[in-house]
Structure 1
């Protein structure tokens, strides 16, 4: 098996991103304002809470974008409303030729958008399909890996598309934002969509960042008061994501350490371990014996979380021991018995290795 994980920010780079965010805050908020809890309702000036608008400007500036908007429905709604803002009509959406993330597929179906697939790992294939299909009106590119074999470079894919055809590109930056050096819009995509829940933020708030003409269209979808992100919620997002880059960078260091130590045979019963983006960056562990389902049950008793909440949300602090993805299972049924995936969340390598070792011993 060969995997192609995304390159994570170093801890030093993550610290710099945190400092950049705080600097952007000081340019938009006064010292008095940032110590308040925000306003409510459809203010006459922008038909939205003024605090929310200020936070959106901070987020846009952080990612070097023209504008940003919060939406209700987390990352799924951010993708859906981003796609809706492109106003496809009878045009098609170009997607990667791998299984589309289930909630994204639901959104595409809901919007009645016809898709055409192409292997984004093959840039020549991308060029060919764009040159030969005049009905393609936009592109969706998922930043993290849809299948383990994916190895495309986001910057190269976006540049290839833009060189051939001037059509809007939406990047799904869930599981990548604040983990990688640049998100989609910083690489010339038109919109980037992500969930703030995955960045320690409140439940249900998504964000779309990018070109003002599309953001303004999305903002019109939120005309009514009930669809607004209130000022307090926006500040909750801001105060939470401040801590995300460094936390996620530390998590990445522990993933690398765990894989190194497992492959140095520190835990008996482990055949091999890999770093992979499946969706979030995780450890894929291949076991010597077909004990994965039982091991996962036992690991819970040793303190491991058995399933995700928001995939790296504020609620997920202990390591998660979980089955491998549905994509992997569909590819090879044997993965069910021999493989597990681990996300250390906020824990260190020592805790993950302890739980894994104890669980294997108990099952055997």
Structure 2
């Protein structure tokens, strides 16, 4: 589909770091356009570069807070404007969380990590037409490049369990948000629910104690960093800074807001850790 030095059309937004590394190592030439702007895409399509384009790369989930394009509308438009190109959708964090993924909207290829679906490390999934899959299979003919045996079964078992685990996690998020917004912890000004990789909680404090809360939370049972988002190794709740993208836009929130993902924990556990971390933060402030 793509060879070193080829041109790829991407959205005018920060590219996911590991994707950017791959693009760089392959020496790909990136053409950027705002996927919200049909006229900008038509301008690329009418250019000499656009007429020779072979790949359009689309990230299903937001690359920046203001992203709002709808794949149901974007993919057909891209296929009309670039009929010679393959539309490749990065469906990480969207699989089993959105009504459809890229190929179901008409894209040529959908790709996603099974590690992010609680599967084994180093295993990905590619959905696409026969010629693409056959070429991938041909290039990975060696046994060392095949996913088989325990790895294949492990990935399948994980995908069966994930929808149930995420449904339970979603209910915990709703309960914690409801309890915090009802005033259960007076130091919390507001709790919002956000779709940021997972369905997570954005907790804003009345005082600038966010950094101290994050320092204290691991002592009471939280994890401070993801272990590969949505991986099987994440069990206790994640107390984490808000995303770098949001902090670039709103740096003042670093002292007032944290992100909490319950993961496999219940609402009582999340609130207990939060209450104890706040108490410790206030003692140290």
Q: Which 5+ residue runs of structure 2 have no aligned equivalent? A: none
Contact 1:282/1:341 (CA < 8 Å) preserved in 2?
A: yes
Please state if 1:155 is matched with 2:80: no
The match for 1:111 is: 26
Within 1, Cα distance between the matches of 2:34 and 2:187? Answer: 37
Aligned counterpart for 1:246 among listed residues 164, 170, 175: 164
- Give the SS at the match of 2:176: helix
Within 2, Cα distance between the matches of 1:127 and 1:195? Answer: 32
The match for 1:92 is: 7
TM-score by length of 1: 0.71
Within 2, Cα distance between the matches of 1:164 and 1:341? Answer: 39
Please state if 1:312 is matched with 2:230: yes
1:5-35 deviation per Cα after TM superposition (whole angstroms, max 9, x unaligned): xxxxxxxxxxxxxxxxxxxxxxxxxxxxxxx
Aligned counterpart for 1:230 among listed residues 138, 143, 148: 148
Please state if 1:332 is matched with 2:250: yes
Within 2, Cα distance between the matches of 1:91 and 1:200? Answer: 33
Query: Kindly tell me: are residues 234 and 96 of structure 1, through their superposed partners in 2, closer, same or farther at Cα, counting changes over 3 Å?
Result: same
Within 2, Cα distance between the matches of 1:262 and 1:148? Answer: 24
1:109-159 deviation per Cα after TM superposition (whole angstroms, max 9, x unaligned): 111111122222334433443344324322111111111222221222112
The match for 2:59 is: 142
TM-score by length of 2: 0.90
1:48-67 deviation per Cα after TM superposition (whole angstroms, max 9, x unaligned): xxxxxxxxxxxxxxxxxxxx
- Give the SS at the match of 2:54: strand
Aligned counterpart for 2:35 among listed residues 95, 120, 123: 120
RMSD, matched Cα: 2.0
Between stretches 168-177 and 335-344, larger displacement belongs to 335-344
The match for 1:274 is: 192
1:278-330 deviation per Cα after TM superposition (whole angstroms, max 9, x unaligned): 33332222222222221112111111111111212111111101112222223
- Give the SS at the match of 2:80: helix
Query: Kindly tell me: are residues 355 and 207 of structure 1, through their superposed partners in 2, closer, same or farther at Cα, counting changes over 3 Å?
Result: same
Within 2, Cα distance between the matches of 1:264 and 1:165? Answer: 51
Within 2, Cα distance between the matches of 1:246 and 1:104? Answer: 29
Query: Kindly tell me: are residues 311 and 213 of structure 1, through their superposed partners in 2, closer, same or farther at Cα, counting changes over 3 Å?
Result: same
Within 1, Cα distance between the matches of 2:166 and 2:218? Answer: 23
Deviation at 1:246, TM superposition (A): 1.7
Between stretches 93-102 and 257-266, larger displacement belongs to 257-266
